[in-house]
Structure 1
C-alpha cells in the first residue's frame, strides 16, 4: 500500500498515451489498456519516481482548490493503490 511518502513510478512496461481518435488518455500495459479521465492522467504524469504521493496530492490541491483536501488525498491514494495492485508501478522505486 502506498503512503504520502511513497514515490510512485510507472513500471517499464506501462505507458501513458494520448489517443487522438478517442481524444482521451490511455494507460497501456501488456494485459490491457485503461481509459483515464483528465485528473487520472494528471496523476499518472506526476508518477515519475521523484515526487512523493504527498507532493502529487499537494499539486492536485493547488489545481482543484474547490475540492476538500481530505477527499483529494483519499481518492488519489485509492487510485494509486489500484494501479499498484495491477502491477503498474516499479516496485523497486515506489516504496
Structure 2
C-alpha cells in the first residue's frame, strides 16, 4: 500500500498471518509478535489492532473506538496507524 493512498472506510483490516497480538505482563503492554521479533505497542496502537479481526471495517473500528473513548475523534489516527501497519506488513486490508 502506498503511503499517500487513502484507506477506504469499507476496507476490512486483519492482522497478517505470522503475527500475533498479545499482552506482555513483563513489559506491562501489548506487543505484536512475529517470527523475527516483537513490536512493543502503545495503548492506541493496541486498541486499534485488537479490533483488526477481519470482520470489522475501518469505519466500524473508528465508530467503536470513538464510543469507547467518550466520542473522541479518532478517524485520522486510525487511518494513519493502519497505513503504517499495512506498510510494515502487520495488517492486510481486504
Map of 1:81 onto structure 2: 83
**Which runs of structure 2 are paired with 1:1-95 in the superposition (5 Å)?**
1=5, 2-65=7-70, 67=72, 69=73, 72-90=74-92, 94-95=93-94
Following the alignment from structure 1 to structure 2, what is the Cα–Cα distance between the partners of residues 77 and 36?
16
Gaps of 5+ in 1: none
Following the alignment from structure 1 to structure 2, what is the Cα–Cα distance between the partners of residues 55 and 81?
17
TM-score, normalised on structure 2? 0.84
Consecutive aligned runs of 4 or more in structure 1 exceeding 3 Å deviation: none
Structure with a larger share of its residues in strand:
2
CA RMSD, 1 decimal:
1.5
TM-score, normalised on structure 1? 0.83
Following the alignment from structure 1 to structure 2, what is the Cα–Cα distance between the partners of residues 89 and 42?
14
Following the alignment from structure 1 to structure 2, what is the Cα–Cα distance between the partners of residues 77 and 55?
12
Structure with a larger share of its residues in helix:
1
Q: Kindly state the Cα deviation for residue 60 of structure 1 after the two structures are TM-superposed.
A: 0.8
